[in-house]
């Protein structure tokens, strides 16, 4: 998996808006209840904004009430990677695109069945391809 910090900073700054760069490259978080896909009901595949990797399908999206689009499972466990995040002085699990290492959001163990997981994802890091 490529390390996004070794990729050309100029390349990403040219390709992404400042908000996309902050979230996808610098592991930022968009404000709650502000994302484009929070209330989207369209059927389709949510792809990585940076590389187009298929990440989540709308069939696994649910309203978590947290202010970010939430999914109970990725399309394929090989489409995302996780790592520990202590940036807020609490242990969280960060989610990245497995193909390009773009920051997507976090995963929590308080989601619905059958997985019990809540992938809390920044809209800015996604691009919806409608069915």
Model confidence pLDDT, tens digit, residues 35-50: 999 999 999 999 999 9
Catalytic residue from among 48, 50, 97, 120: 120
* CB hemisphere CA count around 77 (13 angstroms): 2
pTM value is: 0.90
Active site residue 48: no
Contact by Cβ (8 Å): 40, 20: no
pLDDT tens per residue, range 55-101: 999 999 999 999 999 999 999 989 999 988 777 667 889 999 999 99
Contacts of 48 (CB under 8 A, 6+ apart): 55, 97, 99, 100, 102, 104, 125, 126, 127
């Amino acid at each position: 998996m490529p390390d996004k910090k070794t990729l050309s900073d100029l390349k990403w700054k040219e390709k992404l808006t400042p908000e996309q760069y902050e979230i996808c490259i610098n592991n930022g978080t968009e404000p709650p209840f502000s994302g484009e896909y929070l209330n989207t009901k369209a059927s389709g595949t949510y792809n990585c904004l940076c590389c187009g990797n298929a990440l989540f399908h709308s069939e696994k999206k649910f309203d978590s009430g947290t202010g970010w689009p939430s999914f109970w499972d990725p399309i394929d466990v090989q489409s995302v990677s996780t790592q520990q995040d202590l940036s807020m002085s609490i242990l969280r699990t960060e989610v990245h695109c497995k193909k390009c290492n773009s920051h997507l959001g976090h995963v929590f163990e308080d989601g619905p069945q059958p997985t019990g997981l809540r992938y809390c994802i920044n809209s800015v890091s996604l691009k919806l391809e409608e069915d």
